[in-house]
Amino acid sequence: MSFDDTISGNSSASRDIAFHLHPFTNPSILRETGPHIMARGDGVFVYDDDGQKFYEGMSGLWCTSLGFSEPELVEAAISQLRTLPFYHSFAGKAVNPAIDLAEMLVKSAPPAGHNSKMSKVYFAASGSEANDTAIKMVWYYHAARGNPEKRKIISRKRGYHGVTIAAASMTALPYAQDGFGLPLDFVKHTLTPDYYNGAQNAESEADFVSRCANELEALILAEGPDTVGALFAEPVMGAGGVIIPPSGYFAAIRTVLHKYDVLLVADEVICGFGRTGNMWGSETFDVQPDMLTCAKALSSAYLPISAVILSEHIYGPIGVQAEQLGIFGHGYTYSAHPVCAAVAVRAQKLITERDIIGHVRRIAPVFFERVASLGRYDFVGDVRAVGLIGAMEFCANKNNKKKFDPAQKFASRAVAKIQEYGVILRALPGDIVGFCPPLIIKEDELHDLFDRVDSAMSDIKSIADSIRD
pLDDT at 5 over 60: no
Asked if residues 364 and 356 have their Cβ atoms less than 8 Å apart, the reply is no
pTM: 0.95
Strands (E) located in 125-213: 152-156, 187-190
In 3D space, the residue among 389, 434, 390, 388 whose CA is nearest the CA of residue 411 turns out to be 434
pLDDT at 185: 96
In terms of Cβ atoms closer than 10 Å to its own Cβ (0-12, 13-18, 19+), residue 150 is: buried
Mean pLDDT, residues 125-151 taken together: 98
Asked if residues 341 and 306 have their Cβ atoms less than 8 Å apart, the reply is no
Mean pLDDT, residues 358-383 taken together: 97
pLDDT at 92 over 90: yes
Question: CA–CA separation, 191 vs 120, rounded Å?
Answer: 31
pLDDT at 359 over 80: yes
pLDDT at 385: 98
Question: CA–CA separation, 248 vs 27, rounded Å?
Answer: 43
| Residues paired with 46 in a beta bridge | 41, 54
**Span 7-50, pLDDT tens digits:** 556 899 999 999 999 999 999 999 999 999 999 999 999 999 99
Peptide bond into 148 cis (omega under 30): no
Question: CA–CA separation, 390 vs 460, rounded Å?
Answer: 19
Asked if residues 335 and 89 have their Cβ atoms less than 8 Å apart, the reply is yes
Q: Which domains does the chain have, with CATH numbers?
A: 36-69+355-468 (3.90.1150.10), 75-353 (3.40.640.10)
Task: From residue 255, give the alpha-carbon distance in Å to each of 192, 195, 210, 263, 461.
Answer: 17, 20, 11, 11, 45
**Span 402-413, pLDDT tens digits:** 999 999 999 999
pLDDT at 10: 84
pLDDT at 286 over 70: yes
Q: pLDDT grade, residue 469 (50/70/90)?
A: low
Q: What is the DSSP string of 328-367?
A: -----TTTT-HHHHHHHHHHHHHHHHTTHHHHHHHHHHHH
pLDDT at 1: 38
Strands (E) located in 30-156: 38-42, 45-48, 53-56, 118-124, 152-156
Q: What is the DSSP string of 392-403?
A: EEE-SBTTTTBP
**Span 139-156, pLDDT tens digits:** 999 999 999 999 999 999
Asked if residues 131 and 326 have their Cβ atoms less than 8 Å apart, the reply is no
Sign of the Cα pseudo-torsion (276, 215, 154, 192, in order): negative
The gap from C-alpha 323 to its chain's centroid, in whole angstroms, comes to 34
- Percentage of the chain lying above the pLDDT 70 cut: 98
Q: What is the mean pLDDT of the chain?
A: 96
Question: CA–CA separation, 125 vs 299, rounded Å?
Answer: 11
Asked if residues 176 and 169 have their Cβ atoms less than 8 Å apart, the reply is no
How close are the terminal C-alpha atoms of the chain, in Å? Answer: 31
Question: CA–CA separation, 210 vs 221, rounded Å?
Answer: 16
Return the higher-pLDDT residue of 257 and 5.
257
pLDDT at 283 over 90: yes
Q: Buried b vs exposed e over 288-305: b needs ≥16 C-beta within 10 Å?
A: bbbbbbbbbbbbbbbbbb
Q: Buried b vs exposed e over 419-431: b needs ≥16 C-beta within 10 Å?
A: bebbbbbbbbebb
Task: From residue 301, give the alpha-carbon distance in Å to each of 85, 145, 304, 410.
Answer: 18, 37, 6, 30
Dihedrals phi, psi of 201, to nearest 5 degrees = 50, -120
Asked if residues 193 and 206 have their Cβ atoms less than 8 Å apart, the reply is no
| Residues paired with 42 in a beta bridge | 45
The angle at the Cα of 409, spanning 295 to 381, to the nearest 5 degrees, equals 80
Question: CA–CA separation, 436 vs 385, rounded Å?
Answer: 10
